[in-house]
Amino acid sequence: MKTIAIAALMLLGISSFSQRLLTTPPSGGNKKAAVKERIGITDVTINYDRPRVNNREGKIWGQLVPVGYSDQQFGTSKAAPWRAGANECTTIDFSTDVKIEGQYLAAGKYGFFIAYGPEESTIIFSRDYTSWGSFYYDASKNVLTAKIKPVALDKSVEWLKYEFVNQTENSATIVLSWEKLSFPIKVEVDLLKTQIESFRKELRTDIGFTWMPWQIAAQWCVDHNTNLEEALQWADTSINPNVLGNKNFTSLSTKSQVLVKLGRNKEADAIMKEALPLGTMQEIHLYGRELVRQKKNKEALEVFQLNYNKNPNQFTTLFGLARGYSANGDYKKALEYAQKALPLTPDKVNTLNVEKAIGLLKEGKDIN
């Protein structure tokens, strides 16, 4: 009996071990792949398997990939779309809410399918992203469908691929390409909303225990002309020494910019008077150039003069005065300072810029 028991245990052990699968390439030689892109602050991740054409040119679309929906003779679906890849279900994960072809789609992970049509195809995002392929496709689990037009390619793509093209600050196009067709899918994010929500969340964590994140958040709102009342609160926090603030040129100038956006110019000017003595030579110079850009030429010249008095006979401050006088139409005085700056240029690029400015000033032209 003891021998029989040992034999039984050994058999069970062999049976148990036999169920473990070794790591091998996917069936059919299809490559596993993933591609990830950030749109704004939204992460988009696609996991898929890459089939190859493998000498089947002209037999992919409408044959290997059937038109519309088909009964694959397996699973529960009698009308399944293409799994938009090979083997397992293709999945697409969005870290924030997005728009797909103009339609809202909540943050999350989705199974992705395509009902192919030569003139018009249907893209499908499903709550079911765990079932194998599209054998268990259930239309009741669809979250979003949209019509897109396949695009013919001049050159054949051997291995199916996904990529991101036409990127902007708040959008991109996902393109599936295989053989001589591609399927473009427009993805858009609400950058203003997602970024501000992210700021609010992160500023409540340990990230918010120094002044700089508050200043960065406020400056971002200034640069995008949005959420200005809350940006002012963030700017106040960044300079408040009783909390965690630090009054420096950067934090004070950011608050000043918020106030300008809010139309509170007198308060903004008072803040900048406090900020200027704290600025480095380069910070003050860049502020002067910003004033020139805003056509505040008189104020710009005053800033360039202050910078020169604080940092005399430096290339930056000499050329700053050249810009300031030029902006105010005093080309003779501007030429004088540009010529003084020329021997002090730190590199060839600046030398060329100053030489060009000198030429313009001699012609009576503004260098800004």
Those residues whose C-beta lies under 8 Å from the C-beta of residue 24, and which sit 6 or more positions away, are none
Q: Are 218 and 239 in contact (CB under 8 A)?
A: no
Which percentage of the chain shows pLDDT scores above 70? 93
The DSSP code sequence of 128-167 is: --SSSTTTT--GGGEEEEEEE--EEEEEEEEEEEEEEES-
Instruction: Specify the CATH number for 192-362; select among 1.10.3720.10, 1.25.40.10, 3.40.50.2020, 1.10.10.60.
Output: 1.25.40.10
The predicted structure's pLDDT at residue 16: 46
Determine the residue type at 144: L
Alpha helices in the chain (DSSP H): 2-18, 191-203, 211-224, 228-239, 249-261, 265-275, 281-293, 297-310, 315-327, 331-341, 348-362
Ranges 8-22, 190-204, 298-312, 315-329: which has the least confidence: 8-22
Tell me how far apart the alpha carbons of residues 234 and 230 are, in angstroms, rounded to a whole number: 6
Q: Residue 331's Cα: distance from chain center in Å?
A: 43
Statement: residue 330 has pLDDT above 50: yes
Report residue 30's pLDDT band, with 50, 70 and 90 as the boundaries: confident
Domain extents for the chain?
25-189, 192-362
Please name which of 105, 123, 128, 210 lies closest in space to residue 174, comparing C-alpha atoms: 123
The model scores a pTM over 0.85: no
Q: 222 falls in which pLDDT band (50, 70, 90)?
A: very high
Higher pLDDT, 60 or 13: 60
**Which of 28-37, 45-54, 179-188 is predicted least confidently?**
28-37
Beta pairing partners, 173: 165, 186
Token digits for 169? 């600050």
Q: Dihedral angle at the C-alpha atoms of 317, 319, 325, 330, nearest 10 degrees?
A: 140
So what's the pLDDT on residue 88?
92
Chain position carrying tokens 């602050």:
41
